[in-house]
Chains A and B, each alone.
Chain A
């Protein structure tokens, strides 16, 4: 108790130290005066009385020192003293301080910004009850998705877990007709919210009774996210029990989720959640469509290994019970039966997987930029320490210990870095928003939390120590150098900057080169992606998604809507500005794939997966619309479609692979259980993405596949100009049509968003590092010219030409730059190997790229050295000699 009180009192005493000092002074003075008074009463004269009083007292100064040590915490006190001193120094050098703080703010801000993204996508715990006990069931770590029959079996039969839930993200269309009103949708099982422990802020959430086949007594229900409720309904409670149209079907709004609940995939979000039973695009009994993710909550005390073992026991019966009927291919059945389940921590998402590597690369980049910045600040501090040599020498001479001085200098560095970090923290908020909005296609909760704050603080401290420690040690080194005057001289003339400063610049050049090289790789890769020949002509193509309510993934034969779609296609073709239009299951470069094994008499696969070919179901004119050249044979015609002929068009890769050295026209291949006759060959065109090599692709008439909603239109008009016409054309055919229009170019740009992100950011950071290093180089050279003034003056006096003086200085610059470049290239090529999977058709050892990077760097570094070096030629020998 007493100990606590002492501690508190000491802590309080940290404040207002000066007032407390004055108090003590006054108290002691009163003491002495009273003693003097007494002695004088006893007959001593003034001087004797004072002497005696002082003798009785003992050392006044010593007493004060003891008192101060006890009053508070001497270390803390000294720290605060250092802090005040540092602030005073910085206030006296506003320009120096501003430059340093701004540099640091950029460096630290970049780190915080990237870390915020990493935090949001990878580290934040899910906004649910006890997220550590949630696991995701996977088919294997790479494969996504379970069929609804598997989910229902697990839901009803499992006793391994406390509880299980299933969900699937999708896009909902909320419009009743006309242009599509998109919202991020989430299909959830009845157990979803209860298992996660999410409580509604309004109404109730989806319960197991809402999620039964046919959707229970309440009919289809919907739950809104907090953000959507705020945005679309103004946060009004009246939204409850209102009806909302989702994909053409009425749902009743029953509740709103809390503000922090974004779902269970980091970096994603949802607007509206509905029970699985409302999904009409998937027939719930479909044993093939793998659209669900499954999460499970572990039982208390249960380990992941135990749960895995339990799941392993259940696996065979799940598989037996859900084996798709009508499958006859033994290989497929065997594979289906033995495919294992595995468990991973919940919260991963495709976005997370997709961005994990780029984010690590970016994190490395920004750390390197910060290091380059640290190099500069260390140089600046060194130069300043030289200017402060007088002060430091003075402090030594009146008895400051070296440790004390280093501490003082480190406190100064820390003050700088903390100021930089504070500013950088705000930069990061702004930069983070720009990156997320402009360069990434992600949404979700990326707001900073305590981790971001702690990270920034840690970076600030580390930075302060990194750039502060070397100058602090260096400039207090001449403690033993002897006399005060020698110290001053040595500091001035042969300053400490000589070696350390050179190393710093060399290291900065190396790191910047590595960064510039990385940027060049990303840039080249991006350029290649942009200019790559897609095999089709992307410009002037509009992609139109047109939905009719109640349209599932049905085969054409089963669906009456097909007629309507064909009518719509004809109506679109009639429009005056439409050159051609087609209807297909997929459009290129949308990351969507339909793949199946094909078999021919001439091709004998040696390994599994070798006979896979990509497919698309298309209407006549598809190739004309996309500008894919017909190499041989013919396009589909209306009879192929109407009569459901088993004909196919293949691309050149398909032809080469499955019919090597033969004319494929007239040949047949087997796809699943059906045989198709090849009637045409078209040129190769990108399929799922620009990066992947063109796969062997077969095109089949639309009627051979599933119902599609996708139209492609070639028109010289812009999307905005023709959209109203397109919408009204569709609605004239059927007023229930809802339509979304996008340019194909947008799709393509979206597909290389990550490449653009990496190219843009790495270029930005590369140039930032280059700029910082150039400033460092210029500073070093400028300083060395000043330092070698005397020598240069003498040389000039005995007849050196201005040119030779500049060469003298530049020799150093070139040697330094050379070292930096060699070191940087070693770093760059070593680091580049980690990037190779992110690059498109770019080799890390590409000599043109290496040449560009090295050339840029050498030019900048030498130029940055040359500008101050010219000053050497202007040194006036006479004036210089006089001043010595």
Chain B
């Protein structure tokens, strides 16, 4: 089944995570993983574990913050929220992603003109 699913493009996981935390935060790591899988409708191959080193990096950059809390099911879990600089960063990232995806789009269109 791994062959059918796409590898996540380097760097895009961060964008997706930031966006998820912004929309749903405070949210724990498991919630983020579930949300990303839902959004990709099961197309993306995500080793949930890879999320954690990335959450660490986002925290180190000061874009998200974390706090211990209790989940809906009554478990102690770490909850992540976006910070102000994280929001700014997300806007910038989203902008550049849109620009890049348009460019890539132009390349992969069947009628792309390379002449």
Complex CA gap A851/B34 in Å reads 88
B25 at interface (Cβ–Cβ under 8 A)? no
B47→A57 contact, CB < 8 A:
yes
Given contact pairs A2-B61, A6-B60, A35 touches B30 in the complex (Cβ within 8 A): yes
| Among B52, B57, B60, B62, contact of A28 (Cβ-Cβ < 8 Å) | B52
Which residue of A has the minimal Cβ distance to B59?
A9
Interface window among B11-19, B72-80, B105-113? B72-80
Interface window among A59-67, A115-123, A812-820? A59-67
B50→A63 contact, CB < 8 A:
yes
B56 at interface (Cβ–Cβ under 8 A)? yes
Complex CA gap A23/B28 in Å reads 14
Interface string of A1-35 (1 = CB under 8 A from B): 01001100110000000000001101110110111
Interface string of A267-305 (1 = CB under 8 A from B): 000000000000000000000000000000000000000
B73→A63 contact, CB < 8 A:
no
Q: Which residues of B have CB within 8 Å of A2?
A: 61-62
Complex CA gap A6/B28 in Å reads 22
| Among B47, B61, B77, contact of A58 (Cβ-Cβ < 8 Å) | B47
Given contact pairs A63-B49, A63-B50, A70-B53, A34 touches B77 in the complex (Cβ within 8 A): yes
Complex CA gap A58/B29 in Å reads 14
B96 at interface (Cβ–Cβ under 8 A)? no
Q: Which residues of A have CB within 8 Å of B50?
A: 58, 63, 66
Q: Which residues of B have CB within 8 Å of A9?
A: 59-60, 62
B56→A27 contact, CB < 8 A:
no
Q: Which of B60-100 contact A (CB under 8 A)?
A: 60-62, 71, 73, 75-78
Given contact pairs A57-B48, A70-B53, A31 touches B61 in the complex (Cβ within 8 A): no
Measured CB to CB, the closest approach of chain B to A468, in angstroms, equals 35
Measured CB to CB, the closest approach of chain A to B101, in angstroms, equals 24
B48→A56 contact, CB < 8 A:
yes
A31→B53 contact, CB < 8 A:
no
Complex CA gap A408/B52 in Å reads 30
Complex CA gap A503/B41 in Å reads 72
Q: Which residues of B have CB within 8 Å of A58?
A: 47-50
B53→A33 contact, CB < 8 A:
no
Interface string of B1-31 (1 = CB under 8 A from A): 0000000000000000000000000001110
Q: Which residues of B have CB within 8 Å of A59?
A: 49
Which residue of A has the minimal Cβ distance to B32?
A31
Measured CB to CB, the closest approach of chain B to A26, in angstroms, equals 7
A70→B56 contact, CB < 8 A:
yes
A621 at interface (Cβ–Cβ under 8 A)? no
Complex CA gap A339/B94 in Å reads 84
B30→A67 contact, CB < 8 A:
no
Q: Which residues of A have CB within 8 Å of B75?
A: 30, 33-34, 37
A24→B52 contact, CB < 8 A:
yes
Which residue of B has the minimal Cβ distance to A35?
B30
A524 at interface (Cβ–Cβ under 8 A)? no
B77→A27 contact, CB < 8 A:
yes
Q: Which residues of A have CB within 8 Å of B78?
A: 23, 27, 30
Complex CA gap A28/B49 in Å reads 8
Complex CA gap A35/B51 in Å reads 15
| Among B30, B53, B60, contact of A34 (Cβ-Cβ < 8 Å) | B30
Q: Which residues of B have CB within 8 Å of A155?
A: none
Given contact pairs A5-B61, A26-B76, A37-B73, A60 touches B49 in the complex (Cβ within 8 A): yes
Q: Which residues of A have CB within 8 Å of B47?
A: 56-58
Complex CA gap A37/B77 in Å reads 14
Q: Which residues of A have CB within 8 Å of B77?
A: 27, 30-31, 34
B49→A62 contact, CB < 8 A:
yes
B28→A30 contact, CB < 8 A:
yes
Q: Which residues of B have CB within 8 Å of A63?
A: 49-50, 52-53
Complex CA gap A35/B61 in Å reads 28
Which residue of A has the minimal Cβ distance to B48?
A57
Complex CA gap A56/B5 in Å reads 14
Measured CB to CB, the closest approach of chain B to A62, in angstroms, equals 7
Complex CA gap A57/B51 in Å reads 9
Q: Which residues of B have CB within 8 Å of A573?
A: none
Which residue of B has the minimal Cβ distance to A56?
B48
Which residue of A has the minimal Cβ distance to B77?
A30
A71 at interface (Cβ–Cβ under 8 A)? yes
Measured CB to CB, the closest approach of chain A to B27, in angstroms, equals 12
Q: Which of B52, B59, B77 has the most CB of A within 10 A?
A: B52
Complex CA gap A23/B29 in Å reads 13
Q: Which of B33, B34, B53, B71 has the most CB of A within 10 A?
A: B53
Complex CA gap A57/B53 in Å reads 13
Q: Which residues of A have CB within 8 Å of B73?
A: 34, 37
Complex CA gap A66/B52 in Å reads 9
Interface string of A555-578 (1 = CB under 8 A from B): 000000000000000000000000
Interface string of A63-80 (1 = CB under 8 A from B): 100110011000000000
Q: Which residues of B have CB within 8 Å of A28?
A: 49, 52
Which residue of B has the minimal Cβ distance to A10?
B60
Complex CA gap A31/B52 in Å reads 10
Complex CA gap A375/B62 in Å reads 52
A30→B53 contact, CB < 8 A:
no
Complex CA gap A868/B31 in Å reads 72
A27→B48 contact, CB < 8 A:
no
Measured CB to CB, the closest approach of chain A to B5, in angstroms, equals 12
| Among A5, A35, A60, A71, contact of B56 (Cβ-Cβ < 8 Å) | A71
Which residue of B has the minimal Cβ distance to A62?
B49
Q: Which residues of B have CB within 8 Å of A37?
A: 73, 75
A27→B52 contact, CB < 8 A:
yes
Q: Which residues of A have CB within 8 Å of B33?
A: 31, 56
A31→B28 contact, CB < 8 A:
yes
Complex CA gap A28/B78 in Å reads 9
Given contact pairs A57-B49, A60-B49, A63-B50, A27 touches B29 in the complex (Cβ within 8 A): yes
Q: Which residues of B have CB within 8 Å of A10?
A: 60
Which residue of B has the minimal Cβ distance to A8?
B60
Complex CA gap A70/B56 in Å reads 8
Interface string of A25-53 (1 = CB under 8 A from B): 01110110111011000000000000000
Q: Which residues of A have CB within 8 Å of B60?
A: 5-6, 9-10, 70
Complex CA gap A58/B75 in Å reads 22
Interface string of A337-374 (1 = CB under 8 A from B): 00000000000000000000000000000000000000
A30→B56 contact, CB < 8 A:
no
Given contact pairs A63-B49, A71-B56, A30 touches B30 in the complex (Cβ within 8 A): yes
Complex CA gap A63/B50 in Å reads 7
Q: Which of A2, A34, A35 has the most CB of B within 10 A?
A: A34
Q: Which residues of A have CB within 8 Å of B76?
A: 26, 30
| Among A31, A38, A70, contact of B29 (Cβ-Cβ < 8 Å) | A31
Which residue of A has the minimal Cβ distance to B61?
A2
Q: Which residues of A have CB within 8 Å of B57?
A: 6, 70
Report 23 cross-chain contacts, Cβ distance below 8 Å, ordered by A residue.
A5-B60, A5-B61, A6-B61, A9-B59, A27-B29, A28-B52, A30-B76, A30-B78, A31-B30, A34-B28, A34-B30, A34-B71, A34-B75, A34-B77, A35-B30, A57-B47, A57-B49, A59-B49, A63-B53, A67-B56, A70-B53, A70-B60, A71-B56
Give the 3 A-B CB pairs with smallest separation, nearest first.
Answer: A58-B47, A63-B49, A58-B49
14 additional contacts, CB 8 Å, given A34-B28, A58-B47, A66-B53?
A: A5-B60, A5-B62, A6-B61, A9-B60, A30-B75, A30-B76, A31-B77, A33-B75, A34-B75, A37-B75, A56-B33, A56-B47, A59-B49, A63-B49
Interface residues of A (CB under 8 A from B): 2, 5-6, 9-10, 23-24, 26-28, 30-31, 33-35, 37-38, 56-60, 62-63, 66-67, 70-71
